[in-house]
Structures are given as structure tokens and as C-alpha cells.
Structure 1
Amino acid sequence: MSRTTLPIDAILPDLLAILASDTRVVLEAPPGAGKTTRVPLALLDVQWLGGRKILMLEPRRIAARAAAEFMAAQRGERVGETVGYRIRFESKVSAATRIEVVTEGILTRMIQDDPELTGVGAILFDEFHERHLHGDLGAALALDVQANLRPDLRLVIMSATLDGERIARWFEAPQLVSAGRSFPVRIAHPSARAGEAWPERGWPFHLRRAIELALAENDGDVLVFLPGKREIERARAALSSLSPDAVGGEGRVKGRAFGGNPASQPAAAPPPHPSPLPQAALGGEGVNIVPLHGELSLADQHAALAPAAPGTRRVVLATNVAESSLTLPGVRAVVDLGLAREPRFDPNSGFTRLDTVNIALASADQRAGRAGRLGPGACYRLWPQSRRLEAERTPEIAQVELSQLALELAAWGSDALRWLDAPPSGAFAQARDLLRRLGALDADGRISPLGRRMLALGAHPRLAAAVLRAPAGQQALACELAALIEARNPLRGEAGRNDDFRTRANALHAWRSRERSAVRDLGADVGALAAIAQAADAWRRRSGSDGDRRSGFSRDASSSQPVRSGSIAAEAAPTTRSMLAVGDVLIHAFPDRIAKQDPNNPRRYQLSNGRGARLLDESALIGEPWLVVVDLRYDERDSLILAAAPFDADLLERDFPQRFARERVVRWNRDTRAVDAFEERRFDAIVLERRAVPARPEDAVPALLAAVRDLGLDALPWSDHARELRMRVEALRGWCPELGLPDFSDAALLASLEDWLAPYLANKRRLDALQPAELSDALAARLDFALRRALDEQAPIAIKVPSGLDRRIAYAPDAPPVLAVKLQELFGLADTPRIANGRVPLTLHLLSPGGRPIQVTQDLKSFWERTYPEVRKELKGRYPKHPWPDDPWTATPTHRAKPRR
């Protein structure tokens, strides 16, 4: 079959030559170069492959299917013959298939199930620059397989934009670079009018004006980049000549569903694909609006990837699936909102969620390049030109929840893999702790039988645990709840603030039972419930419980919970309430968020992970003794519970016996400033029983040391002598480091409490039982005889002055030592006294006979020569009974007045 020449064709011979002798290569080629569809076909008949399969990892399902279909068409075959694909819930392969395009989770499962990759000769990692978590994991696993089991396995990293040199160093492979085929692209930043800026509601009309401009200034089709399906539907509404008042939030069209609050109504059904854009809206041209995202049907995907019909133009509204994975024919202009949905860990829910974020500069350049495939093009960027974008996309491994990765590595048996970017240690440790709570790992960190079943389910470990651990008869309910947790809240408007998760379950039950009035009363979105029900059915198929097509919600009134009068739930409750079974299932997904009511505050709860949480003031859950928290908003003190459900607390001992403990607890009581001892029975951090017991001496000392660390060293009874000792030691450490004096700083003393303070706390149960003299002794004990002698000699407490008296030296942190002395006591002394082996001069505070400072100096000789005559004139009349000799060098020093005759 004839084919068009593509830029990648020029380097295919070099690629084949490298792989004939080397097992790894990094191939960098811009979008449109042809790497995705040319490279697998070029490798199909090479000698080293020996008739084995080629696996190509494609991050997105729509791109995987399109690549397989295109390669099959190039061979004049149907998909599933030589070229096939495997994606989630769909597979087209046969015994004859030798090129399999797979998505990321599929590749991981294939390697885990058969580490030797029997029958596979090469793995290609396409679009590696997107840095998806499973892409990084797949590459690390493949390198481990190649190093230990399959040295003949060929590995190829392919990407449109990446730091090729860094990738090549990590991959220990040669780097090939292919030229692209592009024309100049003009970049414009059309400014938004008032009220049109993102994320305000007016942004679709800024977008519409930019699309009209792109159609007017360019030939061919316009490709529009939007972050997700919701924005695509909102943009379609704006392009269909709807007035601003007709477009609601989240892409819904107001006033199209049954009555009630417009904000809580379901999305209107989108128009058929593609839909004609009204000619009056865009200058009289025949233009079709074509959406492109991963949730389209197969027919709609084919329509989006096909050329425009003769005499028409297209406006393709796409997510970043069109950024580099797919080639769209006929595009001459790009309109870019500058946003994308990317996964971010959400600590409130405990899951990784898709957030709308600014794209990176590399993505912006790739998007703009789509306009330069056929000829000179234009890109209209709908963000201020002054905005600075990050250079590269942040790897998912650095910003998502890692429990799935930790479970995969536990199954693999090692996390010592060769990573391009290693998992962050803190996030990885948290993920392993969660897996232990879920029962996926044993106490030694090895994967458990339940963990292997969770891994086979291919879902987030929280949800997999809930579905797999659901008791007999509750599997269908668990699937419904898993779908509800994954989805956005189906309740709208004021009902969306209801924190009782059972209300969402009731809404889904009412929708399945066709109780439309109940759905309406609950303020639920019918479209959202339909999507959740579809996801729940997929969960049933995945878990093997799809034989039961009934709803998972029982109508046994004896199991239902009472509805509190006046609550949101009471105002909108259907004829029956969701049962306690909702919480009974959810405890297996959120064992770290099991919460017990505070006996002294009915709105406050203690979580099993040690944190506190509180209910909303208008909560529908007030009075529930036990809750499992599904969603919360983290706060420094007590987090706010946004969604939870009650459960039967008796299930904890049955389902989580290993989380219970009975132990002795000793702690410092801030109020009494003493050590308390208790015997506690706990579920994780939740105290179930507590009784006071006597504190043993060996228990008290650690608690007292913990109190000092908590309160700081100022909590100790410092005497002036002890404080002075610390300052002398710290000063001399700085002046004479060769002496090797110990560190007496706050940080050092706090870090070594067990060494110097603990022996002096023996048999004490209160900090105030420690005497100041004991604290001084504890410090002094850190100095042996030689160090004490050196300290007294080089940083003395006092120094003898010419008058024959000892005068104290004042030491202070980060300041020179000070000697305050009456001027007459220094008569005859020419030089300033020094300490620390003569390295440090004392700062002299020269005092009048009345004890007031008259001069501060470190140069006594200069004072006698220059300043003393002036001082003598000034003070002789004020203090006539004291000596003021003309020559201070030869005068007798004294601390007294002149003797009487």
C-alpha cells in the first residue's frame, strides 16, 4: 500500500542499525514526524525480533486505538490481525497479532503476570514526555526485566519533547533525533474583555471571539485546546449562539430539565456530533463543531479524526489528547486556553484527583506546532503574554498518591528499580502505611493474598479493599459506593452541602428505582447519577459480581437510620434512608479515617490516624457516635468533615483485630506539670478505654524529657550560676576551639537530654522537683577536670584588678566579655586585661565613684593618654573626696575615697 513520506523515515535505517547491536535507544521526534506508526512497522521483520511481538505503550486510550487502526490500514488489514490493541475494558488482538498497542496499566499487568515477557521481543514507550506514573513504572520494570531476565529485550523510549540527554543518561542508551515537518506559526494573545477571564463564567465568550478571529484570518480547520469534557460542552454551548444568561456553570444549559433550582439541574443532552455552527455567528461560513475527548463513542472518535467534508470547515474542541498523541488533518489555526487536567494528590479525599492547572511551556509549544503542519499557521493563546509558564511538565510520580505504585512494587518484590525520578520518600512511606491499614501488606511489608486480589482488580487500593472485603450480600452495594466515591458529588445546590454520604447513596438508589420525585427532592443531577450508575456496573463486571443487576441498596426499614428533624437530609429525604451498611462497607476503604465522637464535644471527633476533625454546624450527622470519613478539608487543628457515614462499631474487632492494642501510656500533663500514667485500650489512635495507674520511675524520666523538649529549656530551674556557666563555655568554645569544649547551645542540650539531664531526673515525677543546684551540677558534669581548669583559666568568673579586689566578668551570647570597674581601681595599669590565652580583650566599662559609666573602651592605654585629662577635669569637682592624680600611671589604685587627715 502506498504511503506518504514522513520525517521519521530518514532516520529509520539508523534506528534499525542501533537496535541490531544495542538493546536500548532514545528516539526524539516532534509531533507529526511519524514515530508512533512508522517505528513499530519498521521493526516488524528485523532478524533479532525472530517473529516475536512488539508492545507499544501509548498513554491514552483514544490514541492507542487510533494508532493501531492506522497501522493496520497501512498494511491493508483489519485491526486485530497483525496489529491490535488492548485498552481498559476493550481488546482487539488475535493469535496472529504481532504489534500490540497497549495503555499504561495493561503493560504493567503484562510484566507482573509474566516477568520474562514470553513471546515479546521489544517494548516501545511512546509519548514518554507526558511522564505518566504508569509510564515511569513500566519503563523501570522493563529495565529490571532486561537486566535480570531478558538481556535480548529491546527497549525504545520515544517522545516529542523531552530532555533527551538526561533520558539517554538514565537509559544508558544512544540518542536519535528526528527532524519535524512544520511551518512558521504566528503567536497571538488576544486580550479578554471585562468579565471574560478564566475562571469566571464569561471565558467561553472570550474563546468564541478568538475562534471567530482564527476562522477569519486563516484557512482550514481550527483546533481548540480545552482542559476537559465540561469545558468542551460549555464551549459548544457558547458557539451555538446561546446568550450568556443561557449558559450555566459546569457546561450545563439552564432551564432544559424538570423544574426546581436551575443550579441543581442535569446537563442538557449535547447536540449530535458534529453540529453546525450557525452561519450568522461566524461570518457566513459552513463550520462544524467537533468535540474530541476520551469519553466519546468509537464512531464519534472516528468522526473527529476524519478530514472535513468538502466545502466545510471544522472547529475541533479537544483536550490535550490532541497535543501530541493524535494527528488531526486540515488544522491551520490553534486556539489554546492554556489549561489542562492533571492528576494531583488531594489530601482531603485521600485520592488523586484531576485538577485544572496551567500547562507547561513545552505543552504550549507542542499545541502551537499543530497549526504549522500544512503551511504557515497561527496560534491564539488566551492567557496574558506576561504569564510565565513552567518549562516542563512535572512528573506524575512527584505529585500523585502512591499507594497503587507501592502495591505494584510490593508485588514485584523490590522497589530498588532504576527510576528517572524516584518516588518521593515521604509520600511512598505514607502509601505503604495505608496499604498496611487496608490489609494489602503484612507487618513485614510483603504483599498479602488480599493485596494480590486488589492488584488484579486494577483499581485504587482504597476502593479495591472496599469491594473485595464487602461481606456476602453487600458486593453490589460496595460497587455502587466505589462509583460514588470516584465521581463528583451528584447533589447540587444547597443539597450538595449535605455531609451524610448516605444521601448520595439514596439518590443513586432512587434513580435506579426510577423514583424521579425522590431524585428531585434530593436535589440530585440526573445526568451525574446516570454516569455513576454506568461506572457502578463497570465495577460489578470488574469484581465479578455483575450477575446481580439489582441495586446494592436494601429497603429494610429496620436497618435504616433515623433522620434528624430540621436537617438538610430530613427536608430532602426519600421514603427510606440508606442503611448503616453504607458505613460498614466504607470502613474498609478508609480505615485511617474511622472517627469516634469526643464525649465532651458532640461536634468533634478523634480520627484513627491521630488527627482531630469536626462536623459542620448544620451537619446531618450530629449525634452519631462513630463515623467513617470519606471527604474532609484539612486544617492545622481539627479538619472539617465534608462527607461521612455512620457504621456499626462492633465490626472493627471483627474486620481489623490487628489494629487494636492495650498498652501502658506515660505522658506529661501540662496542666499539673507532672507525669501521668495510664493503661489504654486503643483502636489505632482512638482511645476506647483508659484507667489511671501509678507512674513507675523508669516511665517518668522519658516523659519528663519529652516535656522539656516540648516546653523548651526555659522550663528548667536555671540559676544565675548555671546560665553563666553556659555562656562561659559557649564563649570559650568560639575563642579556643582547640580545647574541645562540649556544645552548650539550646539545640545541642535538647538533643542530648538523655546524656546530661536524665540521671538527675531519676525518681522524680515533676519538673519542679529538680533543684537549681542539681541543674548546675548536671551541666558541670559534662566537663572533666582538665576542661574545668581550662575554663577557669581562660574564661574566669572574675579577674583581680590593681586595687587588689576581684571584679566579675560579664559574658553574653555573641558579645565581647565586659569588666565593669571604678576608674580609680585601675591606676597604674597600662594595658587592657585579656582572657582566652590573650586572644580576647575585655571591654572595660569605666565607672565613676558613684558607679556610673563614664567610658567604654578596649584600649586602656589610649584612655589614660587622651581621655583621662578631660574626665579628671569634669569629675574632680563632682567627687572631691576621691583621688584624681595628674599622673594615673604612677598613682596608687584604690576603691576608697582619700583618707582623712
Structure 2
Amino acid sequence: MVTLPIDTVLPALSESLRTRQNAVLVAAPGAGKTTRVPLALLDEPWLLGKKIVMLEPRRLAARSAAAYMARQLGESVGETVGYRVRMDARVGPKTRIEVITEGVLTRMLQDDPALEEVGIVIFDEFHERNLHGDLGLALCLQSQGLLREELRILVMSATLEAGAVAKLLGEAPILISEGRSFPVETRYLSRRAEGRIEQLVARTIKAALAQEEGDLLVFLPGTGEIRRVEASLREMGLGAGVRVAPLHGSLLREEQDAAIAPSAAGERKVVLATSIAETSLTVEGVRVVIDSGLMRVPRFSPRTGMSHLQTIAVSRASADQRRGRAGRVAPGICYRLWAEQEDARLAAQSTPEIYEADLAPLALELAVWGVRDPAELDWLDTPPRAAFAQARELLVQLGALEADGALTAHGKRLAAIGLHPRLAQMMLAGERLQLGGLACELAALLSERDALSEPSADLRLRVEALRAGQVDRRIIAEANRWKRTLSLAPDVREEVDCSGLLLAFAFPDRIAQRRGNGRYLLRNGRGAAFAQEQPLAFHSYLVAAELDDRGTDSRIFLAAPVEEGQIIEHFGEQIEVERLVEWDRSSKAVRARKRERLGAMLLKEVPLASPSAEETLDALLSGIAEEGLDLLPWTKASRQLQQRIAFLHHHRADWPDVSHKALIETLPDWLAPHLYGMKSREELQRLQMVTLLEAMLSWEQRQELERAAPTHLTVPSGSRILIDYADVEAPVLAVRLQELFGLRETPHIAGGKVALTLHLLSPAHRPVQVTRDLASFWQHAYFEVKKDLKGRYPKHYWPDDPHSALPTHRAKPRGK
């Protein structure tokens, strides 16, 4: 057996695990930790009769590691060493090392919380911070603490902040292996890349094949970019003896194995890979790495409840992992397709998936485990509260949880299926409606990347392509596997037009109602729209299976139509019936309607024949409060009465407050009893506002009102002049100067407490002086005013002594 760097650390690791339950192993890429550690622990005494379970973040790496360890033992996979990944398992009765992935560990823990048959759980490549890895570690720690003190936990990684993990594991020992790699020359672009990355990648591949030796490993963000680079290379022509091999998670196992296998004699290989090839995987013969510097990750928005894939720059740790692939077997070259000055701005580590992912699966698993609050477990990073709350809301809507977070029997069934809760819900609904085959096909299509690279968003076209064998064989195989789970024949094919109905069970919050111009209103209140013209946009209702959360209207990528009748039939118990009796501003009247709503969507609205008197009254009062008291039939007399009462309230607190604000706030007290039978502004005109205001006064106050705040004042000329109470602090008497001759003092009201503000007017009723001290005016200002008025009104009477002069409302007193 070839010596590997990890071999020097294995004795210390074995010794640590004999005396401690937990350990952390940091080993550089190429050290051999993935394949050497499990084999080295097989004969440990504490493992007697127990299994080793190793969690790998990626399926391809899990199968590859199991195959390599089996070869080291001279056996086939499925004997001492086996694996279990999604849709594929090779284990047997003698298997003692199981390499597992994704949710397999979670299922094992849910079935046997104590992991009675397991001696140690190894978390490999933990730096990737996979959601299932974080969940699995939290559950294993609780199992170890409560049920299996002797259970061992080993966390391994090439690039990991080991201190935090060791602390989480109870101050576990940290062992470090430096690894062994050959020097790798790193080359950067001279300036920042512009344009589509695929063309730059294709040109760099062409140049590297001409200048360097060995096979090429090219990192791209996703399958779309892989397809486009592959097409560009075909157009360029790479010459004889060069094989282009895609490598991503959607390929069949045989295609993945072919990509990582050594090249044939005289052949060179160009592997176009996603981040699947970053860790725990040796692509034989690679001497050159070309790194696009990009990766595609899922992002979940608690604000909208939607997930989408986002292309981001790789972290420093990922970039170094990728570069290391070129130095596994010999000196190599790494082309980084970004400028060197950009390199310093890379994040140190990738963001843990627990911060960015849809937490609905995690929330359901925790509920099955018996945990309602994630804080009950020990996490390296606790699930964000907002995202977890959003996940709980969805699970309640799916019927998987009670409102308090308790697991329902239906939720237990959803969790047992092993799909995302949305898709599991769809599978069970399909089984119940005898649409199980279609549900399985939809689940397979939605579990993988888009099966068709065409602009149509119609999911029904994907189902038809699947049935015609025109999609990836992996998707077809998964659909058939789910059909077998439901005991259905692979060739069962239900009506494709029922796709929208089944999607509605998976995405009840994304049932959408047409608003026109390709725009829709989702049940959850968000807007959605097609990015370009689509035949689907003419359907009144559809279900959006995939959309983003950008902008005012999310872009719809995948959807299928659903009929209104299907919505009513299958979601009728969730439809809310509203009796809507409200004020209509346009008609200035109470409008009564009955509405049927599913979330934010208005399904039906009809007039409400007989709203109750109380409903009508409440709506009428709301309308008055909203639009203001001008809806009421105010007259000059009623306005003056309001102002007189307000004046007295200002000076005496025992008088009622009749300000606009106070009247609005007390509408039910003073106005409501007079509104029964009314429902419009027109009918409000029958009200007598003077009577309503007087009703707010006691008998004594009504008697006092005329004395303390009279409507008019009789002046010396005999005229009754209206008093203006608009200013509660200073009521105004506007009167012609000549009518006050003979009056020595300013008139007072409110029992003599408040002097009127006199607006002294010219014969033409124009203001000439404002005063609250008439005596002073006569003594000082009158003579200047007299000169001016005499000049302008020479025919009028302007005496020298206003005190003894006769008042008049004419030009001159009679007899003058």
C-alpha cells in the first residue's frame, strides 16, 4: 500500500479515540484522510461489533471513496465497505464501513436515535458546511449526550476553523496532517474578465492544451455553463485524442465514473466540472486546473419564502481546494480567470448552507426528532430565526405541524418519504387522487436542474419530454424509483394537464391569479411575472414551481396551469368567506359585498343582500371618520354653534369638546344613535346638526349658552352684529366704526371674562383698526383714523367727540 501523509497521524488519532469520544482531524488536500482513516479504525477494540458511518457531502465522492477502500482490501464494494446515497446503495450483511450522503444519516438517526449498530460517525469535508452535515452533527451530539455516551464522533476537513468545532465537541483534541502535494504554478488574468465566462474558459482550455501536459480539470458554476463550453470546444475543434468529459451531480453514475477514470493511452481528457470535484475526489491524470472562480449556490429568502440559485464568487478556501487538484500526482498549473488584485477580496470561507437554505426540511426533521426550538440542540451555527419561522409556517400550511410546532401524523408520513416536504406532500396527494405516476414524474423533474434548455416555462412540456425519453436518464430513473415506492408500474401515465393541480399541493403559497400582461398575484401576496411572452400567461390561474424573489414581481421560471374549479374543490376548506360592509369613497355610500378569498387572491365577489344594521352603521361611521365631518350637512348656524361651544370649552373644561378631532373620536356617542337606517351621504343630509350639537349639552348649559356666548351683540346703533367664534381665544365682532359712537368700553362675554376683539370697519366694511381696548382707541388712535376716513368718506358723520356722538348705521344720524 502506498504511503500517504495521513499515515503519520493515524496512531495519534487511534490513541485519541481510545480515550476520548470525539476528535477533530485537519488534513490538507491529498493527505488521504477520506480513504485511510476508516480503514485504520476498523480493528479498534471500542468498535467491536459496530459499524463506521462516514458522511460525505457529495454522492460521487461517496461512491469513489467506497470503491477505493474496497480495492485496498481486495474486495468489491458492498462487502466490508459499502455506500448508501440517494437512489443508489451497495451494502451487505458484512458491511462495516458505510459511506453515506445527503439525508441518509438523518434517516438512520430518526429510525434509531441511539445508532445502536454504529461505533463512530465521521463527518468528512465538514468545511463545506452542508445543511445535512450540520443537522447530522447536532443530532449525533444529542444522541451521544442522552443515549450513547460511548458513540464516537470524528470531524474531518482540509480547510476548517478547527477551534470552534473542537469546542462544540466538548474541547475535543485537534490532530493535524500537513499532507503532501506537488508545487502548483498559479496564473492570473492581467485584468478583470469581461463578457461571458464560457468563451474565456474555452479559449483558456485551447491554449492550455497547446502549452501544457496532462489532463485538464475545469471548474464552472453549473450545468448550463458546462453545456455551453462543451459546444464552444466542439466548434473550435480540439483535435484527435482529446476527450471532453462533463462532471456534475445530474449525470448517471457511469458517466461520472468515466469522467474521473484515467485517460486511455495516447488520450488527453478535459473534465468540465462543477464544485462536485473540489474535495474527496481524485480525477486521475490532472496536471492543469482552470478555475472560473464561480460557484452556484441555493439562496432562500425568508421575506418571500422562495429559493433560487445564485452564482457567486468562490471563497478563498474553495479556490485553494481547486488549485490543489492540479498538484495531486505531479507539479501542475492553475489558471485563475480573475485578476490578481481581485484575489485578495475573496471571502475566507463559504457561507454555511444553514444561513442560506430553505429550512423546511430541517424543521420537519427536528419535529420528527422531537425538537420544536432549534436552540435545544448544540449547533456550530444556530438556524436563523426568520428562516426557521418561515419554514414552520410552510409546514403548518402543509399540515405537517400543528400551530404550536407539534408533529402531526401527516407530517410523519411526509418525513418518511425522504423528499422535500413540498414534494412529499405532492406525492401523497397524487396517490390519493390516483395521479401518483404524474406526481412521481413531477417530483423527479423538480428535484433536479431544469430538464429542458428552452424558454418555455410550462412544466407540462418537461413531463412530456420525460415520457418521450428526451431528458436526462437520471431523472427518468428517479421518476421510476418513486413510482416503485408507490407500487406503480413505470409506464403509468396520467393526464399531463393535472400537473398544475398536483403542484398546488406542493406549492399552495404559489397558486397564482392572472392580473394581465403576463403578471400574476400569488396566494402569499407577492407579485410574479414571466420574463418574456409565454402561452401560459393566458391562463387565469397557475402554480409557480420555480421563481426568484427579485424586484416587485418575481420572475416565473417553471409553472403549470390550474383550473379555478380544482382550486375550489381541493382547497375549499382554506377559502375564507368575508362579509365586507364598508364605505365606498367613489359612491359616497356603504357598499355590502361577500368575498371569497384564498390568501391574497380574490376568487369571487357578489353583492351582500342584507347586511345587518350594526354592520351598516359601523361602515357609515368609518366612512365619516375617514373622509371627515364635511360629509355631514353643516349650516352657518350649526358651524357657529360648534364654535360657540368650543369657545366655552376652551375657557371651562366642563363644557363638551366639539373640536373636529374630538367629534371624530366620539362619533359612536353623539352621532351613531341618529344614523340607523342611513347608508349614504345623500341620506346623511337629513340630519339636523344644530339639534345634534345641542343634544350634547345639559339643560343648564343650554340656558347658559346664550348668556355666555351669544350669537349676536346689539351695538349702540341698534344693529345686531354676528360674533365670530372661529378663534376660541379671541372671538371677533366686526362692526362699522360709526355704529359704536357712544360706547366707551370694549364689550365682554363669558360672564365678563373675555373681551371681544373688535374689527372696526369703514363705511365700505373694510377694516381700519383692530383692538381689544376701545377706550384707548377713542383716546389715541381715533383721531388719526378719523382724518383718513373723512378724506375718503366726506359725506359721512365724523364727530370730534366719539363718546358723546350719536351712533348710526347710516351716513349720518337722523337730523344731522
TM-score scaled by length of structure 2: 0.68
**1:166 to 1:536, Cα distance in 2 relative to 1, 3 A:** same
Q: Which has the larger radius of gyration?
A: 2
Select the residue among 219, 223, 227 that pairs with 1:225. Answer: 219
Q: 2:121 touches 2:154 (CA, 8 Å); kept in 1?
A: yes
Q: Give the letter for the 2:488 counterpart.
A: D
**1:761 to 1:539, Cα distance in 2 relative to 1, 3 A:** farther
Unaligned runs of 5+ in 2: 628-661, 673-678, 685-816
2:48 pairs with 1:56: no
Partner of residue 405, structure 1: 362
Q: Give the letter for the 1:391 counterpart.
A: A
2:5 and 2:585 mapped to 1: Cα distance? 74
**1:121 to 1:605, Cα distance in 2 relative to 1, 3 A:** same
Shift in Å, 1:502: 4.0
2:625 and 2:94 mapped to 1: Cα distance? 69
SS in 2 for 1:156: strand
Which of 435-444 and 27-36 deviates more? Answer: 435-444
1:621 and 1:104 mapped to 2: Cα distance? 35
SS in 2 for 1:71: helix
Select the residue among 571, 585, 590 that pairs with 1:656. Answer: 571
2:245 and 2:338 mapped to 1: Cα distance? 23
2:233 pairs with 1:318: no
Partner of residue 546, structure 1: 488
Partner of residue 207, structure 1: 204
Q: 1:410 touches 1:445 (CA, 8 Å); kept in 2?
A: yes
Q: 1:675 touches 1:695 (CA, 8 Å); kept in 2?
A: no
Pairing 1:24-423 to 2, within 5 Å after superposition: 24-172=22-170, 173-191=172-190, 197=194, 199=196, 202-212=199-209, 215=212, 219-239=213-233, 242-243=235-236, 278=239, 288-309=243-264, 313-345=268-300, 352-387=307-342, 388-414=345-371, 415=374, 416-423=376-383
SS in 1 for 2:54: strand
Shift in Å, 1:706: 12
1:89 and 1:370 mapped to 2: Cα distance? 28
Shift in Å, 1:455: 1.7
**1:372 to 1:412, Cα distance in 2 relative to 1, 3 A:** same
Partner of residue 446, structure 1: 406
Select the residue among 443, 459, 464 that pairs with 1:482. Answer: 443
SS in 2 for 1:446: coil
**1:413 to 1:181, Cα distance in 2 relative to 1, 3 A:** same
Q: 2:205 touches 2:290 (CA, 8 Å); kept in 1?
A: no
Q: Give the letter for the 2:501 counterpart.
A: D
Q: 2:34 touches 2:124 (CA, 8 Å); kept in 1?
A: yes
Q: Give the letter for the 1:465 counterpart.
A: Q
Q: Give the letter for the 1:212 counterpart.
A: L
Q: 2:91 touches 2:98 (CA, 8 Å); kept in 1?
A: yes
Q: 1:349 touches 1:632 (CA, 8 Å); kept in 2?
A: no
1:704 and 1:31 mapped to 2: Cα distance? 72
Select the residue among 519, 522, 539 that pairs with 1:607. Answer: 522
SS in 2 for 1:357: strand
Select the residue among 16, 20, 23 that pairs with 2:18. Answer: 20
Shift in Å, 1:319: 2.9
Q: Give the letter for the 2:218 counterpart.
A: V
Shift in Å, 1:101: 0.8
Q: Give the letter for the 2:362 counterpart.
A: L
Shift in Å, 1:459: 1.5
Q: 2:422 touches 2:507 (CA, 8 Å); kept in 1?
A: yes
1:482 and 1:380 mapped to 2: Cα distance? 39
Identity of aligned residues (%): 48
1:57 and 1:706 mapped to 2: Cα distance? 65
SS in 1 for 2:9: helix
Partner of residue 631, structure 2: none
SS in 1 for 2:400: coil
Q: 2:53 touches 2:118 (CA, 8 Å); kept in 1?
A: yes
SS in 2 for 1:223: strand
Select the residue among 382, 394, 397 that pairs with 1:434. Answer: 394
Pairing 1:331-730 to 2, within 5 Å after superposition: 331-345=286-300, 352-387=307-342, 388-414=345-371, 415=374, 416-470=376-430, 471-486=432-447, 496-497=455-456, 500-505=458-463, 511=468, 526=470, 528=471, 532-541=475-484, 543-553=485-495, 578-579=496-497, 581-596=498-513, 605-613=520-528, 618-621=533-536, 624-632=539-547, 634=549, 637=552, 639=554, 643-652=558-567, 654-662=569-577, 680-687=595-602, 688-689=604-605, 693=611
2:552 and 2:590 mapped to 1: Cα distance? 24
Q: 1:666 touches 1:703 (CA, 8 Å); kept in 2?
A: no
Q: 1:192 touches 1:206 (CA, 8 Å); kept in 2?
A: no
**1:402 to 1:32, Cα distance in 2 relative to 1, 3 A:** same
Shift in Å, 1:54: 0.8
2:179 and 2:47 mapped to 1: Cα distance? 28
Shift in Å, 1:157: 0.6
SS in 2 for 1:95: coil
2:425 and 2:394 mapped to 1: Cα distance? 11
1:107 and 1:397 mapped to 2: Cα distance? 17
Partner of residue 761, structure 2: none
Q: 1:675 touches 1:703 (CA, 8 Å); kept in 2?
A: no
**1:20 to 1:373, Cα distance in 2 relative to 1, 3 A:** same
Shift in Å, 1:227: 3.0
**1:20 to 1:397, Cα distance in 2 relative to 1, 3 A:** same
Shift in Å, 1:343: 2.5
Shift in Å, 1:153: 0.6
Shift in Å, 1:504: 4.7
SS in 2 for 1:408: helix
Which of 697-706 and 375-384 deviates more? Answer: 697-706
Shift in Å, 1:184: 3.2
Q: Give the letter for the 1:552 counterpart.
A: E
Which of 379-388 and 306-315 deviates more? Answer: 306-315
SS in 2 for 1:189: strand
Unaligned runs of 5+ in 1: 245-276, 280-285, 513-525, 554-577, 709-755, 770-901
Q: Give the letter for the 2:359 counterpart.
A: L
Q: 2:66 touches 2:77 (CA, 8 Å); kept in 1?
A: yes
Q: Give the letter for the 1:656 counterpart.
A: F
2:350 and 2:222 mapped to 1: Cα distance? 18
SS in 1 for 2:287: strand
**1:351 to 1:475, Cα distance in 2 relative to 1, 3 A:** farther
SS in 2 for 1:469: helix
1:487 and 1:412 mapped to 2: Cα distance? 27
Shift in Å, 1:445: 2.4
Q: Give the letter for the 2:177 counterpart.
A: S
**1:502 to 1:366, Cα distance in 2 relative to 1, 3 A:** closer
1:395 and 1:619 mapped to 2: Cα distance? 37
Partner of residue 825, structure 1: none
Shift in Å, 1:32: 1.0
